[in-house]
């Protein structure tokens, strides 16, 4: 069966032709208006970038190469033995090639990544070990990734003038696969830094899937010896691995305009290699308006639980929510800039919990998360401001990680960063396949804007 690179090679000529034709025949076609509101409003609604792979629909939510999450769950291969969720490896294949991989193709990509990721470069190990153990985990991840630029095949061959523009994508693909493959060890190293004085919490194996390695290196498959009290039994370890597969499979990207994906694309457009490009994306993901929402939700749930007598007390919960709204604060985990329905990624995470009632029956935070998803939309509707009163993607994920023992809230975003690599790096490969140029939007100053208003 075909490797990922061979499968990709098969679809390239047709896509290159399409782009050529679009540019030569329809280059002057107007896409849409750009208003002063969008210039001063974070470019909301501007359709001004090319992005393949994921799209966002206000009613149906995210689509991965046109498949909904539900369809992905039905059609993308899992391990075949120990999983109720598809492997992120199969999502990577889908995004890269546009086709659902076979079971064998998923298996071969799984093995390829596991082999590529078996060792971190010695300089990256050294850099990470030298960092203050209490440094923000996302700073550690960005530094680790940036340090790997030393081994970038793209950067090296570009500098030597060894590759022509048409082939840039090949080394970009190599680097991107190496980067994605390195994330279990990087993540494990960072987690051991912040929880275990840098001592490893688990082992890497070339024979398991990407998420099993992530979980193993977080110390979630063999009990933990560190200060953390987590001791999972084997069913819980397996469930945690499946949670990781689910989470990292559906957080890969949404439409490219988000800060981490767009930053990766922007920095990559200067032909920076994938390590530098994605390290920049990680810096953006660390921002409180982007990747940190999941931890806000966890704080909110814990705080609310300490203020209500029980999750059964609907009136108390309602009153608590009104108190938050009346003090001009938002209900974290609710609302969305584009979506106008409950986020299907939230629904998928909720279903994970619902499928395991015994596991969660005594976890007040998870119970509250479930209860809130029924109560908060009613309160937000009555409040009448939010255009979307439903739970978003961040409503459930953090509290599920917390349940299994990941208590370091800042670390959630590192796990997010593992998943997010898959979408933007796929796009980076396609940017190079299609020869997309350096990004250079034109800006306007006060005088420029005022001149436009005079024309109105
Ligand atoms: N609680 C209270 N008020 C809310 C609200 C919420 N969860 N969501 C929206 N609103 C308010 C807004 O603050 C805004 O009020 P204003 O007119 O006084 O400024 C009004 O409703 C209209 O906002 P909107 O058009 O519906 O949303 P938006 O596109 O401006 O913002 C979002 C979207 C997600 C930032 C917002 O819903 C929010 O702050 N939610 C809570 C925080 C959160 O869950 N963030 C995670 C987002 C998920 C993600 O993309 N990672």
Q: State yes or no: is 336 an active-site residue.
A: yes
* pTM for the full predicted model: 0.95
Q: Which atom belonging to ligand 1 lies closest to the Cα atom of 393?
A: 48
Q: Which atom belonging to ligand 1 lies closest to the Cα atom of 338?
A: 29
ipTM: 0.97
Average pLDDT over residues 41-50: 91
Position 399 pLDDT exceeds 50? yes
Pocket probe for ligand 1: among 301, 378, 386, 420, the residue whose CB has the most ligand atoms within 8 Å is: 386
Tell me the pLDDT band of 83, cut-offs 50, 70 and 90: confident
Residue 47's pLDDT is: 92
Residues having CB within 6 Å of any atom of ligand 1: 293, 325, 330-337, 385-388, 392-394
Position 229 pLDDT exceeds 50? no
Average pLDDT over residues 394-401: 95
Annotation: CATH topology of 293-404: Cytochrome p450-Terp; domain 2 (1.10.230)
Q: What percent of the chain has pLDDT over 70?
A: 98
For the chain, the average pLDDT equals 94
Distance of CA 385 from the midpoint of ligand 1 (Å)? 9
Structure tokens at 259: 């800060």
Q: State yes or no: is 290 an active-site residue.
A: yes
Residue closest via CA to ligand 1's atom 12 equals 386
Distance of CA 1 from the midpoint of ligand 1 (Å)? 47
Considering the candidates 253, 336, 343, 431, report the single residue annotated as catalytic: 336
Structure tokens at 219: 């110390």
Distance of CA 340 from the midpoint of ligand 1 (Å)? 12
**Is the distance from CB of 156 to CB of 216 less than 8 angstroms?**
no
Q: Please report, for residues 159, 261, 397, 403, 455, the alpha-carbon distance to residue 251 in angstroms, rounded to integers and kept in the order given.
A: 34, 11, 10, 19, 44
Q: State yes or no: is 254 an active-site residue.
A: no
Distance of CA 24 from the midpoint of ligand 1 (Å)? 41
Listed by start position, the domains of the chain span 293-404
Could you tell me the end-to-end alpha-carbon distance of the chain, in angstroms, rounded to an integer? 60
DSSP-assigned states of every residue in 165-217: GGGHHHHHHHHHHHHHHHHHHHHHHHHHHHHHTT---S---TTS-HHHHHHHH
Average pLDDT over residues 361-366: 96
Tens digit of each residue's pLDDT (9 = 90 or more) over 275-295: 999 999 999 999 988 898 889
Q: Which atom belonging to ligand 1 lies closest to the Cα atom of 333?
A: 44
Distance of CA 333 from the midpoint of ligand 1 (Å)? 9
Residue 44's pLDDT is: 85
Q: Which helix H or strand E contains 54, and what residues bound it? A: strand 54-57
Tell me the pLDDT band of 224, cut-offs 50, 70 and 90: low
């Amino acid at each position: 069966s075909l490797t990922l690179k061979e499968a990709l090679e098969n679809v390239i000529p047709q896509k290159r032709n399409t782009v050529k034709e679009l540019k030569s025949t329809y280059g002057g076609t107007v896409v849409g208006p750009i208003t002063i509101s969008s210039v001063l409003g974070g470019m909301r609604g501007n359709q001004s970038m090319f992005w393949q792979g994921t799209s966002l629909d206000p009613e149906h939510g995210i689509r991965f190469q046109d498949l909904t999450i539900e369809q992905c769950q039905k059609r993308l291969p899992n391990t075949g033995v120990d999983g109720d969720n598809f492997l992120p490896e199969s999502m990577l294949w889908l995004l890269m090639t546009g086709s659902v991989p076979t079971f064998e193709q998923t298996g071969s990509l799984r093995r390829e990544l596991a082999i590529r990721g078996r060792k971190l470069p010695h300089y990256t190990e050294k850099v990470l070990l030298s960092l203050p153990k209490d440094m923000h985990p996302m700073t550690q991840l960005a530094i680790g990734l940036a340090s790997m630029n030393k081994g970038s095949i793209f950067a090296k061959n570009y500098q030597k003038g060894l590759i022509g523009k048409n082939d840039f994508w090949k080394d970009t693909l190599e680097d991107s696969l190496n980067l994605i493959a390195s994330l279990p060890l990087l993540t494990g190293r960072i987690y051991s830094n912040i929880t275990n004085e840098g001592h490893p919490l688990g082992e890497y194996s070339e024979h398991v899937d990407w998420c099993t390695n992530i979980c193993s290196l977080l110390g979630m498959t063999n009990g933990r010896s560190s200060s953390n009290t987590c001791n999972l039994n084997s069913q819980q370890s397996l469930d945690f691995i499946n949670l990781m597969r689910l989470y990292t499979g559906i957080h890969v990207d949404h439409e490219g305009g988000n800060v981490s994906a767009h930053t990766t694309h922007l920095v990559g457009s200067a032909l920076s290699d994938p390590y530098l490009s994605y390290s920049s994306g990680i810096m953006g993901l660390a921002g409180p308006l982007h990747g940190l929402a999941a931890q806000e939700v966890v704080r909110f749930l814990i705080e609310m639980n300490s203020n209500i007598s029980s999750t059964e007390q609907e009136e108390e919960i309602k009153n608590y929510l009104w108190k938050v709204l009346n003090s001009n604060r938002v209900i974290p985990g609710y609302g969305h800039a584009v979506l106008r329905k409950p986020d299907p990624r939230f629904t998928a995470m909720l279903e994970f919990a619902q499928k395991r009632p015994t596991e969660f029956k005594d976890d007040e935070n998870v119970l509250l998360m479930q209860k809130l998803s029924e109560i908060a939309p009613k309160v937000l509707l009555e409040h009448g401001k939010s255009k979307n009163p439903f739970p978003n993607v961040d409503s459930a994920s953090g509290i599920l990680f917390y349940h299994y023992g990941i208590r370091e809230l800042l670390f959630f975003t590192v796990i997010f960063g593992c998943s997010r690599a898959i979408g933007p790096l796929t796009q980076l490969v396609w940017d190079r396949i299609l020869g997309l140029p350096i990004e250079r939007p034109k800006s306007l100053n006060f005088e420029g804007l005022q001149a436009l208003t005079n024309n109105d």
